[in-house]
Amino acid sequence: MAFAYLQDALNARRREGLLRQRKIIGSSVGAMIEIDGQHYLSFSGNDYLGQRQDLAVMQAWVEGISSYGVGSGASPLVTGHTDAHQQLEDFLATGLNREAALLFNSGFAANQAVCQALSHPNLCILADKLMHASFMEAGKLCDAKFKRFRHNDVNHLTNLLKTNPSSDLSSSATDKLIVSEGIFSMDGDLGCLNELQNVAQQHDAWLMVDDAHGMGVLGKTGLGSVEQFNLSQQQVPILMGTFGKGIGTSGAFVAGSQILIDYLVNFAKHYVYSTAMPPAMALATHASFQSLADGSKQQALTQRIAQFRLLCQQKGIPLTDSSTAIQPIIIGDPVTCLRISEDLKQLGLWVTAIRYPTVPKGTDRLRITLSASHKNSDIEAFVDGLEIVLRRYQVLLNE
């Protein structure tokens, strides 16, 4: 039978406890979600600051629809680039101290576009081993040498960059691109950006930062990792950020020099041949950044993180070293991880089990995400539920 491998692959995933299936969300208000008529406290989203339901953001979206309609109607280089898009790009460039910025429909598309457009045989890309799949796939498929360095391991990266006979990196590489993340999506730890930019400067390389999970939550005004650590355009020549997480809307951007952005406008196929994001989305995104500028929601999130970690410590719940909204609990076995997730749902708590191949084998986990939308009582109830369920599976540190 033609394409029989499709069913075979699905059957194999099911046997291994790795089959992915979607859930239909009936409604979502604050930290509550409804699925199949049941309501749950959700600890699985990426809306870290509750911005997707912020009144100012929603009002900007409505006003954008009134002015532009629900879509852009064309690709950016035809008639899809409006003053709403340009205003957002200008805001990002100014706030991030970059010469220019360029909007994309998703972070996946932005990462793929950068790899595809910059690729040439004498380029070597050196990416942190835990980079997002969107970049890993693009790096492996593009016409460049692709190397991975151990997670946040500057020494390993430096060894790869050395051009000597024992090196892993060919001396024929005339251009080098080091790539890391601001906040890593599955572990919640920070990229060692200051150390990486020093290595990049020493080896005449460019540093690219994927700040998908840092945008909105890091920085004095929510402009992410480069604002948090005061990293200039020279130190981070390529910055990618997304709007679908801390900003609460959708889409992404790349920021850098005017030459970089002009080059992408001309050679990035994911930009040239895609319909532009809706102008209303651009207006809502701009409004979201503006509403985060006082830092109050970021402070609320910081308080929730501290509360969660303290309560978990008191109850012996094992956490990683993360200080961000992403708080994984490593279970290690996909079937057990799924069972724990299902048991939590019976208590009205929604936490997604993340399994291989999204994370390395043996590191299957509960990927807990906290939000400014959570109340103190939500955190307390959640940790109580975690203790009850994890005790059944002997996951607590004191058992």
Does the annotation mark 185 as catalytic? yes
Q: Which of 54, 89, 181, 364 is catalytic?
A: 181
The question of whether 399 is a catalytic residue gets the answer no
What span, in angstroms and rounded, lies between the C-alpha atoms of 188 and 367? 9
User: Is 181 annotated in the active site?
Assistant: yes
Catalytic option among 85, 132, 176, 270: 132
132 given a catalytic annotation: yes
SS3 of 330, please?
Answer: strand
Q: Active-site residue among 85, 147, 213, 297?
A: 213
Q: What whole-number distance in Å separates Cα of residue 169 and Cα of residue 190?
A: 26
**Is 213 one of the catalytic residues?**
yes
245 is catalytic: yes
Q: Mind giving me the DSSP string for 205-269?
A: -EEEEE-TTTTTTSSTTS--HHHHTT--TTT-SEEEEESSSTTSS--EEEEE-HHHHHHHHHH-H
- DSSP annotation of 140: H
In this structure, is the dihedral angle defined by the CA atoms of residues 186, 187, 189 and 191, taken in order, positive or negative? negative
Could you say which of 85, 147, 176, 245 is catalytic? Answer: 245
Catalytic-labelled residue, pool 28, 46, 159, 323: 46
Q: Which of 47, 128, 189, 210 is catalytic?
A: 210
Distance CA 264, CA 245 (A): 24
Instruction: Return d(Cα 117, Cα 61) in angstroms, integer.
Output: 32
- Angstrom CA distances, 286 to 89, 216, 247, 290, 340, stand at 9, 12, 9, 6, 39
* Spatial distance between the Cα atoms of 38 and 24, rounded to a whole number of angstroms: 11
Q: What is the DSSP string of 60-128?
A: HHHHHHHHH-SS--S-IIIII--HHHHHHHHHHHHHTT-SEEEEES-HHHHHHHHHHHH--TTEEEEEE
Say whether 341 is catalytic. no
- Cα–Cα distances in Å, from 343 out to 26, 262, 349? 21, 52, 9
Which residues have a catalytic role annotated?
Answer: 46, 132, 181, 185, 210, 213, 245
